[in-house]
C-alpha cells in the first residue's frame, strides 16, 4: 500500500499529492472513518429531506397520538419512529431536524471562524494595547460558564433559533481568537514573514496571504470540534425553550416537547436524544482524525 | 585497517563494528541508512566520523548505543562486538546496563539533552542510581563534585545546585560530558557535540574531550560534519557518504592526501582560513551606518517584579559598504551582528543613529516613505526551511516583491524564470512548493527572491550556516558571482571565520554590540589588533591545518 501511494504521488499534481497523503493519514483512524460515513449519510438525508421524509414534519395526525415506534409493542409501519403527543410523525421530524443541525453548525462555525480569525490576527499583529484589549475581552467571555452566557444572551435578544446561534457563536469565538493569535505569533517569528516585510508587504497582505494559510490546520480541527458543540448547545437551548421555537422540528426542541412523557413514553425522548448523541460523537471522531492527519509534526517528518 | 596509527598498532579494539547494515522504512529515499560498515575503535584514540547530512554517520553510532528509532529503523545485518558481546543481539536489559556505564554518549543540543526541571546534581545522581551501584549518598555526592570538577566547571557545588537554564551553552555541554563520563565508560560517543556552540566555547570543549580521553584512555567516536574539528582532534577518520564508508585512515593521511574522489571533493570545499590580499574597493559608498544604537529590554519598572535588564545589541556601530564590496560582520552569538543587519533593513527599530543609504537617512523615514526604498535593500536568511512560506508556490514567493511594487504579473514571472536560471534551478520550479526542494535549493530560491527586487544592497544573514559544506561552497560561489555581475554591496553576517576569510573584502568584528576591530580582511586575519579578534582566530578548529590544494588532481 505504501509503495502504491508513493508512486501515485509522483504522478499527480502537488495539490493532489497533499490531498492523497492527507487521506492516507485520515484513513488510519477507523473511528474517524465511521464518523465520516455517518455524517455523510446524515448530510444526504438533510439535503433530500423533501423526498425521503414520509410525512410533513408539522402535520398533526389526530388519530395517532403518542404512537410507539415500530419495534415496540403497538407500533405500526405507518409511523416507523412513532408519533409525538400532537400526532406528528417522529421520523419525518427527525429527518427535517437534521437540517437544523447542519444549519446551526455551519452558521455558528462561519461566524466563529471569520470573527475569530480577524480578531486573532489583529491581536497578533498589534502587540501591546490593542492585543491586550482583545485578549482580555476574550478572557472575560471565557470566564462565564458557556451555556449560562448563551442563555443570558438569548434572554436579552429574545428566544429564537437565530438568536441562539448568535449567542453560541459569541461564546465560542474566544477559542478561535486565542488559537489564531497563538498560531500567528509563532508564524510571525519565521523568516518568510520578515522577508515579506523587507519587500514592503502591507500588513493586510502579511496577515491574509502569508500568515493565515499557515495557521489553518489547527483552526480546521477546532472548527470541527466546535461544530458538534454548537449542535449540542443549540439542543440544550432548545430544550430550555430558548432556541428553536415550536413547531420547528429541531432535535433539542423535540426533547423539550417530550420531556413530560419521559416516564410513560421514553422513546419519544430517546429518538432525538440518540440522534444528537451519534451526530456529536461522529463529528468529534472526525475532528480527532483531522487532528492526526493535519498534525504538523507528521508533515515535517515527510518533508 | 588495524595497523592504522602507531599509537594503536598493538592494541585490540574495544569496539568492533562488523558488516553493519541498518535498514530504513520502505518509503525512505534509500533502502539502508548504513550499509556494510566496518570499523574498529581502539582505546586511547579519537575516531572521527565525518559526512554530510544524511550520510548515516549518526545512525551508525545510534546503532552502537541501541538507540535506533525502532520499529521503523532496524539493524538488518552485521555485528557490533563490545567486550565479547554482540550488541545487536543482546536483550534490552543488557543493553541498558551497558549504556551509560560502559558506553557513554553526548549529544548536539545540551539544552534538550538535559532535563530542564531537574537540578544538575539530581541528574547526575540519576546516572548512579539507575545503574544500581552500591554507593552511599555521601559517596555519590563526592563523586558528582569530582566529576563536575573534572570537566572544568568552576565551583562544582554551585553549578550542581543550579538548573540547566541557569547555565551557559558551554557549561551545559560540560555537564553533559560529566554525565556521560560519570561511570567511566570505555567508549564515548560524541554526536556533533560542539555544533551548537560558539567558536571559543567549541575550542574549550574539544580540548576537554581530548584531555579526558587521554586521561582515561577511552575510545572516542566523534561525529562531525566539520573538517576543521576533524583536523583539530582526530587520530583516525572515517568518511561516510550515503550510508557507506568511502575512506578511512589516519587523520593526517585523510586530511592531506585523500584518495577517494568524494573525500577530495569535500576537502576541496572547506574554506581556507588564510585570506587573500585584495585590492581595496574604491567605488561609491552605498550605505554608511553612523553611531547606530539599539538596546533590548527596558529600564521601566513593570507593575510586578523588578526592572528588566538592558542588553546592548548595537552600541555606537559605524560602518560603510561600497558598490561591489562585501563587508563581513563576524562575532559570536549574542554579539549583535544579526541585529545590526536587521536594523539596516529596518526589520528592527533602532534607538538612534544614522543609516545613510545613497544620501538618504532611512532611519528617519516613515513606513510609507520607506516603501519605495525597500526594493534597494534585500536580505537572505539563515534557515532555508523557515524563510520560504510553505503554503505558496515558488513563483508566488519570488514574484511577491515585484508585484507589491507595481510590476505586472507577466513581467515579474518572466523575470522569475530568468532569476531561477541564474541561481541554477530550472523554470519548472516556479510551479512547485518549497517542501519539494533541498536546503541548498531553497537557499537558491531565497537568493532569487532577493534578486527579484534588483537590490543595491544585499544582507546575507548567516546565509550559508545551515548548509552542508559542499552545498555551502556552491552557494558562496553563486553569491560571489551575483555580486560581481550586478555590482552589489553586500553585508555578510556570519559566525564562521573560514567563510568570512574567503568571501569578504573587509571585516568588522563585533563583541557585545560593539565593533572591536574593523579593517581589510587580510589585515584582520594576519595581523589582528584586538585581543578578542585574536582569541576568535585562535579558537577556529583546525587552524593549523593548511587545507591542501586539490584543484589539480
Q: What cell was used for A3?
A: 509503495
Interface A–B counts its CB contacts (< 8 A) at 68
Question: Percent of chain B at pLDDT above 90?
Answer: 37
Residues in chain A with CB shorter than 8 Å from the CB of B453 are 199
Selected for mutation to probe chain B from A21, A125, A198 (highest B CB count within 10 Å) is A198
A197 within a domain of the structure (yes/no): yes
The reply to whether residue B401 touches residue A210, judged by beta carbons under 8 angstroms, is: no
The reply to whether residue B436 touches residue A205, judged by beta carbons under 8 angstroms, is: no
Residues in chain B with CB shorter than 8 Å from the CB of A6 are 27
B-contacting residues of A 149-188, CB under 8 Å? none
Spell out the residues 6+ positions from residue A61 whose beta carbon is closer than 8 angstroms to its own: A55, A79, A83, A87, A88, A89
| Nearest CB to B401 within list A194, A199, A210 | A199
Nearest CA in chain B to A14: B432
A108 within a domain of the structure (yes/no): yes
**In which domain, by residue range, is A46 found?**
29-302
User: Does B443 lie at the interface with A, CB-CB under 8 angstroms?
Assistant: no
Residue B333 burial (C-beta neighbours within 10 Å; 0-12, 13-18, 19+): middle
Min distance A13 CA to chain B CA atoms (Å): 9
Query: Which of the four pLDDT bands, split at 50, 70 and 90, describes residue B544?
Result: confident
Q: What is the spatial distance between Cα B373 and Cα B385, in angstroms, rounded to a whole number?
A: 27
Cis-peptide into A106, omega within 30 deg: no
Spell out the residues 6+ positions from residue A48 whose beta carbon is closer than 8 angstroms to its own: none
Q: What is the pLDDT of residue A129?
A: 92
The reply to whether residue B386 touches residue A196, judged by beta carbons under 8 angstroms, is: no
The reply to whether residue A195 touches residue B432, judged by beta carbons under 8 angstroms, is: no
Instruction: Say whether pLDDT at B416 is over 60.
Output: yes
CA angle (B500 as vertex; B495, B505 as ends), nearest 5: 140
The reply to whether residue B347 touches residue A194, judged by beta carbons under 8 angstroms, is: yes
Nearest CA in chain B to A299: B435
The reply to whether residue A197 touches residue B347, judged by beta carbons under 8 angstroms, is: yes
The reply to whether residue B392 touches residue A213, judged by beta carbons under 8 angstroms, is: yes
pLDDT in tens, B315-343: 999 999 999 999 999 988 888 898 999 99
Q: Are A58 and A247 in contact (CB under 8 A)?
A: yes
The reply to whether residue A192 touches residue B386, judged by beta carbons under 8 angstroms, is: yes
Selected for mutation to probe chain B from A195, A208, A214, A301 (highest B CB count within 10 Å) is A195
Q: What is the spatial distance between Cα B188 and Cα B101, in angstroms, rounded to a whole number?
A: 10
Q: What is the pLDDT of residue B443?
A: 92
A115 within a domain of the structure (yes/no): yes
Residues of chain A with pLDDT under 70: 1-14, 295-303
Min distance A77 CA to chain B CA atoms (Å): 55
Q: Cα dist. A185→A126, A297, B54, B343, B430 in Å?
A: 11, 18, 32, 21, 28
B-contacting residues of A 195-224, CB under 8 Å? 195-202, 205, 209-210, 213-214
Q: Where do runs of H (alpha helix) occur along B306-432?
A: 337-344, 367-374, 394-404, 409-422
Closest C-alpha among A241, A244, A228, A223 to residue A281: A228
Q: What cell was used for B334?
A: 549574542
A291 within a domain of the structure (yes/no): yes
Instruction: Say whether pLDDT at B365 is over 50.
Output: yes
If one compares B526 and A74, the residue with the highest pLDDT of the two is B526
Q: Could you give phi then psi for residue B399, rounded to 5 degrees?
A: -85, -5
Q: What is the pLDDT of residue B301?
A: 63
CA angle (B58 as vertex; B55, B63 as ends), nearest 5: 115
User: Does A66 lie at the interface with B, CB-CB under 8 angstroms?
Assistant: no
Residues in chain A with CB shorter than 8 Å from the CB of B378 are 198
Q: Are B514 and B317 in contact (CB under 8 A)?
A: yes
HSE (side-chain half, CA atoms, 13 Å) at A87: 7
Spell out the residues 6+ positions from residue B277 whose beta carbon is closer than 8 angstroms to its own: B522
| Nearest CB to B387 within list A6, A191, A201 | A191
| Nearest CB to B453 within list A199, A205, A303 | A199
Residues in chain A with CB shorter than 8 Å from the CB of B381 are 191, 194-195
A-contacting residues of B 385-424, CB under 8 Å? 386-392, 397, 400-401, 404-405
If one compares B170 and A154, the residue with the highest pLDDT of the two is A154
Long-range contacts of B482-485 (CB under 8 A, 24+ apart): B482/B422, B482/B447, B482/B451, B483/B324, B483/B326, B483/B458, B484/B324
The reply to whether residue B446 touches residue A195, judged by beta carbons under 8 angstroms, is: yes
For chain A, what is the domain count?
1
What is B117-185 written as a DSSP string?
TS-HHHHHHHHHHHTT----HHHHHHHHHHHHHHTT-SSHHHHHTS-GGGS-HHHHHHHHHHHHHTT--
| Nearest CB to A191 within list B378, B386, B400 | B386
Q: What is the pLDDT of residue B304?
A: 65
Q: What cell was used for B169?
A: 551553552
Q: What is the pLDDT of residue A299?
A: 46
The SS3 call for residue B77 is: strand
A24 within a domain of the structure (yes/no): no
Q: What is the pLDDT of residue B306?
A: 64
Q: What is the pLDDT of residue B196?
A: 78
Residues in chain A with CB shorter than 8 Å from the CB of B392 are 209-210, 213
Q: What is the pLDDT of residue B307?
A: 63
A20 within a domain of the structure (yes/no): no
Q: What is the pLDDT of residue A11?
A: 40
Buried b (16+ CB within 10 A) or exposed e, B488-515: bbbbbbbbbbbbbbbbbbbbbbbbebbb
A10 within a domain of the structure (yes/no): no
The reply to whether residue B386 touches residue A214, judged by beta carbons under 8 angstroms, is: no
Q: Are B447 and B478 in contact (CB under 8 A)?
A: yes
Q: Are B387 and A190 in contact (CB under 8 A)?
A: yes
pLDDT in tens, A202-212: 889 999 989 99
Q: Cα dist. B113→A297, B73, B165 in Å?
A: 20, 22, 12
| Nearest CB to B26 within list A3, A194, A195 | A3
The reply to whether residue B378 touches residue A198, judged by beta carbons under 8 angstroms, is: yes
A14 within a domain of the structure (yes/no): no
Supply the CATH number for residue A101's domain: 1.10.3720.10
Q: Could you give phi then psi for residue B401, rounded to 5 degrees?
A: -60, -60
Amino acid at each position: 500500500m505504501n509503495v502504491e501511494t508513493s508512486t501515485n504521488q509522483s504522478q499527480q499534481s502537488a495539490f493532489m499529492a497533499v490531498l492523497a497523503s492527507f487521506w492516507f493519514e485520515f484513513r488510519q483512524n477507523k473511528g474517524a472513518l465511521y464518523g465520516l460515513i455517518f455524517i455523510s449519510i446524515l448530510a444526504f438525508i438533510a439535503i433530500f429531506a423533501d423526498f425521503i421524509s414520509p410525512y410533513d414534519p408539522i402535520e398533526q395526525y389526530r388519530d395517532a397520538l403518542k404512537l410507539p415506534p415500530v419495534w415496540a409493542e403497538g407500533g405500526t409501519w405507518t409511523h416507523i419512529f412513532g408519533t409525538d403527543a400532537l400526532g406528528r410523525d417522529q421520523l419525518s421530524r427527525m429527518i427535517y431536524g437534521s437540517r437544523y443541525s447542519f444549519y446551526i453548525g455551519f452558521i455558528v462555525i462561519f461566524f466563529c471562524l471569520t470573527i475569530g480569525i480577524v480578531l486573532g490576527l489583529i491581536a497578533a499583529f498589534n502587540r501591546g494595547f490593542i492585543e491586550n484589549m482583545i485578549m482580555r475581552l476574550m478572557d472575560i467571555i471565557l470566564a462565564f460558564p458557556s451555556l449560562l452566557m448563551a442563555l443570558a444572551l438569548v434572554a436579552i435578544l429574545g428566544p429564537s433559533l437565530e438568536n441562539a446561534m448568535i449567542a453560541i457563536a459569541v461564546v465560542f469565538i474566544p477559542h478561535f481568537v486565542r488559537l489564531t493569535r497563538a498560531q500567528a505569533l509563532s508564524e510571525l517569528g519565521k523568516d518568510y514573514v520578515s522577508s515579506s516585510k523587507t519587500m514592503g508587504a502591507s500588513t493586510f497582505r502579511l496577515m491574509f496571504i502569508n500568515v493565515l494559510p499557515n495557521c489553518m490546520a489547527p483552526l480546521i480541527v477546532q472548527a470541527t470540534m466546535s461544530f458538534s458543540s454548537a449542535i449540542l448547545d443549540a439542543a440544550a437551548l432548545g430544550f430550555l425553550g430558548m432556541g428553536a421555537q415550536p413547531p420547528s422540528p429541531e432535535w433539542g426542541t423535540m426533547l423539550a416537547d417530550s420531556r413530560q412523557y419521559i416516564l410513560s413514553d421514553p422513546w419519544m425522548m430517546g429518538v432525538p436524544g440518540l440522534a444528537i448523541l451519534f451526530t456529536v460523537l461522529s463529528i468529534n471522531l472526525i475532528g480527532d482524525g483531522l487532528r492526526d492527519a493535519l498534525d504538523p509534526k507528521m508533515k515535517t517528518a515527510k518533508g | 585497517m588495524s595497523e592504522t596509527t602507531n599509537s594503536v598498532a598493538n592494541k585490540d579494539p574495544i569496539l568492533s563494528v562488523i558488516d553493519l547494515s541498518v535498514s530504513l522504512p520502505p518509503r525512505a529515499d534509500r533502502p539502508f541508512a548504513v550499509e556494510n560498515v566496518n570499523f574498529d575503535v581502539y582505546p586511547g584514540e579519537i575516531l572521527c566520523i565525518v559526512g554530510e547530512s544524511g550520510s548515516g554517520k549518526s545512525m551508525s553510532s545510534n546503532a552502537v548505543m541501541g538507540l535506533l528509532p525502532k520499529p521503523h529503523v532496524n539493524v538488518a545485518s552485521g555485528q557490533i562486538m563490545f567486550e565479547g558481546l554482540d550488541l545487536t543481539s543482546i536483550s534490552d536489559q543488557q543493553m541498558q546496563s551497558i549504556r551509560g556505564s560502559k558506553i557513554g554518549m553526548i549529544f548536539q543540543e545540551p539544552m534538550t539533552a538535559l532535563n530542564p526541571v531537574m537540578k544538575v546534581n539530581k541528574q547526575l545522581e540519576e546516572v548512579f542510581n539507575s545503574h544500581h551501584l552500591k554507593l552511599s549518598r555521601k559517596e555519590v555526592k563526592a563523586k558528582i563534585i569530582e566529576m563536575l570538577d573534572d570537566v572544568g566547571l568552576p565551583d562544582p557545588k554551585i553549578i550542581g545546585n543550579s538548573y540547566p537554564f541557569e547555565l551557559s551553552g558551554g557549561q551545559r555541554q560540560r555537564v553533559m560530558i560529566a554525565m556521560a563520563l560519570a561511570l567511566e565508560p570505555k567508549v564515548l560517543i560524541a554526536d556533533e557535540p560542539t555544533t551548537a556552540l560558539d567558536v571559543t566555547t567549541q575550542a574549550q570543549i574539544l580540548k576537554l574531550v581530548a584531555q579526558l580521553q587521554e586521561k582515561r584512555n577511552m575510545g572516542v567516536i566523534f561525529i562531525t560534519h566539520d573538517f576543521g574539528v576533524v583536523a583539530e582532534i582526530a587520530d583516525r577518520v572515517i568518511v561516510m557518504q550515503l550510508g557507506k564508508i568511502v575512506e578511512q585512515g589516519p587523520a593526517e593521511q585523510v586530511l592531506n592526501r585523500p584518495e577517494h574522489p568524494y573525500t577530495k571533493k569535500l576537502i576541496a570545499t572547506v574554506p581556507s582560513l588564510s585570506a587573500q590580499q585584495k585590492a581595496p574597493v574604491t567605488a561609491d559608498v552605498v550605505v554608511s551606518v553612523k553611531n547606530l544604537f539599539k538596546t533590548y529590554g527596558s529600564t521601566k519598572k513593570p507593575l510586578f517584579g523588578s526592572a528588566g535588564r538592558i542588553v546592548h545589541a548595537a552600541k555606537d556601530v559605524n560602518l560603510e559598504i561600497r558598490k561591489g564590496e562585501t563587508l563581513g560582520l563576524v562575532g559570536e552569538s549574542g554579539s549583535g551582528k544579526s541585529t545590526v543587519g536587521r536594523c539596516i533593513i529596518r526589520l528592527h527599530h533602532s534607538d538612534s543613529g544614522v543609516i545613510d543609504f545613497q544620501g538618504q537617512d532611512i532611519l528617519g523615514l516613515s513606513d510609507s516613505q520607506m516603501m519605495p526604498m525597500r526594493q534597494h535593500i534585500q536580505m537572505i536568511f539563515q534557515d532555508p526551511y523557515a524563510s520560504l512560506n510553505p503554503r505558496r508556490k515558488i513563483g508566488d514567493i519570488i514574484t511577491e516583491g515585484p508585484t507589491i511594487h507595481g510590476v505586472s504579473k507577466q513581467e515579474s514571472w518572466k523575470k522569475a524564470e530568468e532569476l531561477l536560471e541564474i541561481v541554477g534551478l530550472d523554470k519548472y520550479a516556479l510551479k512547485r512548493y518549497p517542501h519539494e526542494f533541498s536546503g541548498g535549493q531553497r537557499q537558491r530560491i531565497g537568493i532569487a527572491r532577493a534578486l527579484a527586487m534588483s537590490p543595491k544592497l544585499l544582507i546575507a544573514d548567516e546565509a550559508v550556516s545551515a548548509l552542508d559544506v559542499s552545498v555551502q561552497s556552491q552557494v558562496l560561489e553563486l553569491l560571489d558571482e551575483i555580486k560581481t555581475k550586478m555590482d552589489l554591496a553586500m553585508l555578510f553576517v556570519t559566525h564562521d571565520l573560514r567563510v568570512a576569510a574567503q568571501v569578504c573584502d573587509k571585516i568588522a568584528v563585533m563583541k557585545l554590540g560593539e565593533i572591536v576591530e574593523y579593517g581589510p580582511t587580510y589585515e584582520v586575519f594576519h595581523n589582528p589588533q584586538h585581543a578578542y579578534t585574536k582569541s576568535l582566530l585562535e579558537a577556529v578548529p583546525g587552524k593549523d591545518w593548511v587545507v591542501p590544494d586539490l584543484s589539480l588532481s
